[in-house]
Amino acid sequence: MLEWFGSIGGWGWVVIGLVLIGGELLAPGVFLIWLGLAALLTGLVVGLTGVGWQGAALIFAALSVASVLAGRALTRRKSDEPDAAQGLNDRGRQLIGKVFKLDATMTGGEGRIRVGDSSWRITGPELLAGSEVRVVRVDGATLVVEKA
């Protein structure tokens, strides 16, 4: 096994890289492409410098880690960042900070507001119909409001 691994040379690394990149088509997940790029670069280095199989393995390992980390940084979604909104399916969070008018007078600290074509249950201070309220947080399917 080590004899084969020691004899692959620079072109062998290029072939391994192309196979890994092609494998990304069969098993999508944006991971094999980074290993494939690391193998291609390893083939380039081995072809130019003629390092042995031990050096090539170390170069491939280092380039694999570097390319996976670089790929992860390049493909990070904004939703993965802590300050980003939770997305389209979390409409309540998107309403935080917005101001709306009350449909009816709030009684017992509860009422309703219209947001587009939907009606939301709200809790907050007792206010008269037509008063403006600001959404401060979401509690399940209920918006918590304060006087704007």
Beta bridge partners of 146: 134
Instruction: Give yes or no for a contact between 112 and 120, defined as CB atoms under 8 angstroms apart.
Output: yes
- pLDDT tens series, the chain, 148 aa: 556 556 678 888 899 899 998 988 887 777 888 999 999 999 999 999 988 888 999 999 999 999 999 988 887 765 555 544 455 567 778 888 999 988 888 888 898 898 888 888 999 998 888 889 999 999 888 999 998 8
The pLDDT, as a whole number, for residue 83 is 47
Residue 123, class by beta-carbon neighbours within 10 Å (0-12 exposed, 13-18 middle, 19+ buried)?
middle
> How many residues in the chain?
148
Q: Where in the chain is the domain with CATH 2.40.50.140?
A: 91-147
pTM to 2 decimal places: 0.51
pLDDT confidence of residue 25: 84
Angle between helices 9-26 and 32-49 (to 10 degrees): 170
What class does CATH assign to 91-147? mainly beta
Helix, strand, coil shares, percent, the chain, to 5? 50, 20, 30
The rounded distance, in Å, linking the Cα atoms of 109 and 144 is: 10
